[in-house]
């Protein structure tokens, strides 16, 4: 008959029963560093017993794939003292667990008991066997919850605490740092999303402002800003400077072209032009005829010279409401000047 290792008894301060996946299971509650007993035994026919074998016990996490528990300071998480029976078929093991369940984020523990043979069954040969996992006898304890005080055991027994293991009230430093990092990452993602949304809205608003444009007259002469600059950036002084620059570059035909633009304008635009002309002429009441003549790109005839002198004289006296006799005069934009 094959050798088999079993647990005859597993003591605890409190044993609680609960349903897990439709099956009733037991959880053993013990106090940290307080001894509790685990009684092991092998079957009578077994050639392996507690005399010719070495007992090894390890504290494991109760997971689908159990993993051995280790402490950060290197201390053993489990200590035990074994007392074999006279026939070496059973053994009482007093155990102490040095780690709390709350330190493991609520994960329960298991104890793995392993009986590793050291010598051959024939005592006369005394041939030492190499330890092998296949030859060892292994058994697992019931799930264990470790608390720090006896009062917690009494609270569980009277129902003051839930039967399931409480989460760790004192989160470890690495847990807090991990949670903080997750919060910071989430906030950074939100900042990036808001920045992207703001950039898209701003780009859309600028595109609408640029496409709206602004025209000076109904003939389509526009004072357009750059594609990305909003309309409001163009100031009055900037517009005037642009007008003077365009007028300066028109050459000898600039007077006729300006006269055509003003004659084609609507009533509102013509009124604004008169107002602008009046404001601008206020700075030139004291006129120098020679200076005015010099600004013309072509020489003037004697008749045109006379009208120009008449205009300069009237302006110097503050008169701006003038009846023009010469329909060709460039100073009378309301008259036809196509044949000038």
Task: Determine which of 135-144, 150-159, 216-225 has the lowest per-residue pLDDT on average.
Answer: 216-225
Task: Determine which of 27-36, 87-96, 263-272, 331-340 has the lowest per-residue pLDDT on average.
Answer: 331-340
177 lies in some domain = no
Q: Which residues pair with 144 in a beta bridge?
A: 28, 109
Report CA-CA distances (Å) from 26 to 12, 49, 141, 163, 333: 11, 28, 11, 11, 107
- 284-314 core/surface letters (b: 16 or more CB in 10 A; e: else): eeebeeeebeeeeeeeeeeebeebbebbbee
Residues 262 and 93: their CA atoms lie apart, in Å, by 113
**CA torsion, ordered 144, 150, 155, 157, to nearest 10 deg:** 60
**Residue 319: band (very low, low, confident or very high) from pLDDT cuts 50, 70, 90:** low
Check whether residue 147 and residue 255 sit in a common domain.
no
Check whether residue 34 and residue 162 sit in a common domain.
yes
Higher pLDDT, 240 or 14: 14
**Residue 317: band (very low, low, confident or very high) from pLDDT cuts 50, 70, 90:** low
pLDDT > 80? residue 212: no
Last residue of a domain, one of 138, 166, 194: 166
pLDDT > 60? residue 323: no
121 lies in some domain = yes
Q: What pLDDT score does 311 carry?
A: 61
Q: What pLDDT score does 108 carry?
A: 94
Query: Average pLDDT over the chain, rounded to whole?
Result: 76
Q: What pLDDT score does 167 carry?
A: 46
User: What is the count of structural domains for the chain?
Assistant: 2
Last residue of a domain, one of 166, 191, 207: 166
Handedness of CA 20, 24, 30, 36 (dihedral sign): negative
pLDDT, one tens digit per residue, over 54-85 is 999 999 999 999 999 998 888 899 999 999 99
pLDDT > 70? residue 91: yes
118 lies in some domain = yes
pLDDT, one tens digit per residue, over 250-267 is 777 778 888 888 788 888
Check whether residue 162 and residue 48 sit in a common domain.
yes
- 185-204 core/surface letters (b: 16 or more CB in 10 A; e: else): eeeeeeeeeeeeeeeeeeee
The residue-averaged pLDDT of 173-182 equals 76
Q: What angle do CA 149, 153, 155 make, to 5 degrees?
A: 110
Q: What pLDDT score does 222 carry?
A: 46
pLDDT > 70? residue 286: no
Check whether residue 277 and residue 157 sit in a common domain.
no
Last residue of a domain, one of 149, 166, 183: 166
Check whether residue 142 and residue 274 sit in a common domain.
no
pLDDT, one tens digit per residue, over 22-45 is 888 899 999 999 999 999 999 998
Q: What pLDDT score does 142 carry?
A: 94
Q: How many whole angstroms from its chain centre is CA 156?
A: 43
Q: What pLDDT score does 242 carry?
A: 82
- pTM score: 0.45
Range of the domain at 260: 251-340
How would you classify residue 274: left for phi > 0, otherwise alpha for psi between -120 and 50, otherwise beta? alpha
pLDDT, one tens digit per residue, over 195-207 is 989 988 988 888 8
220 lies in some domain = no
Q: What pLDDT score does 120 carry?
A: 52
The residue-averaged pLDDT of 178-191 equals 86
Q: Are 91 and 84 in contact (CB under 8 A)?
A: yes
Q: Which of 32-36, 174-178, 199-203, 331-335 has the highest mean pLDDT?
A: 32-36
CATH classification at residue 144: 2.60.40
């Amino acid at each position: 008959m094959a050798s088999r290792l079993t647990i005859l008894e597993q003591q605890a301060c409190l044993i609680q029963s609960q349903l897990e996946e439709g099956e009733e299971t037991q959880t053993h509650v013990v106090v940290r560093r307080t001894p509790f007993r685990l009684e092991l035994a092998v079957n009578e026919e077994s050639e392996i017993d507690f005399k010719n074998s070495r007992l090894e016990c390890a504290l494991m996490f109760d997971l689908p794939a159990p993993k051995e528990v280790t402490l950060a300071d290197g201390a053993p998480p489990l200590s035990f003292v074994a007392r074999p029976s006279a026939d070496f078929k059973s053994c009482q093991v007093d155990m102490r667990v040095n780690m709390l369940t709350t330190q493991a984020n609520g994960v329960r523990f298991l104890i793995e008991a392993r009986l590793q043979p050291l010598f051959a069954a024939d005592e006369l040969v005394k041939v030492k066997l190499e330890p092998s996992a296949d030859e060892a006898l292994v058994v697992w304890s019931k799930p264990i919850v470790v608390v720090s005080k006896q009062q917690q055991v009494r609270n569980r027994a009277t129902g003051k605490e839930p039967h399931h293991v409480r989460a760790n009230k004192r989160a470890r430093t690495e847990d807090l740092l991990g949670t903080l990092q997750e919060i910071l990452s989430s906030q950074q993602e939100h900042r990036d999303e808001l920045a992207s949304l703001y950039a898209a809205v701003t780009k859309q608003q600028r595109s609408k402002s640029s496409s709206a444009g602004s025209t000076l007259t109904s003939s389509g002469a526009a004072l357009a800003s750059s594609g990305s600059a909003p309309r409001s950036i163009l100031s009055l002084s900037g517009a005037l400077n642009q007008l003077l620059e365009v007028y300066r570059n028109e050459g000898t035909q600039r007077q006729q072209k300006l006269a055509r633009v003003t004659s084609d304008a609507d009533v509102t635009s013509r009124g604004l032009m008169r107002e602008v002309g009046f404001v601008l002429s206020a700075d030139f009441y004291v006129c120098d005829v020679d200076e005015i003549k010099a600004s013309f790109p072509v020489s003037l005839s004697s008749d045109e010279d006379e009208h120009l002198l008449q205009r300069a004289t009237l302006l110097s006296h503050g008169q701006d409401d003038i009846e023009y006799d010469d329909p060709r005069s460039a100073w009378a934009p309301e008259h036809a000047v196509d044949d000038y």
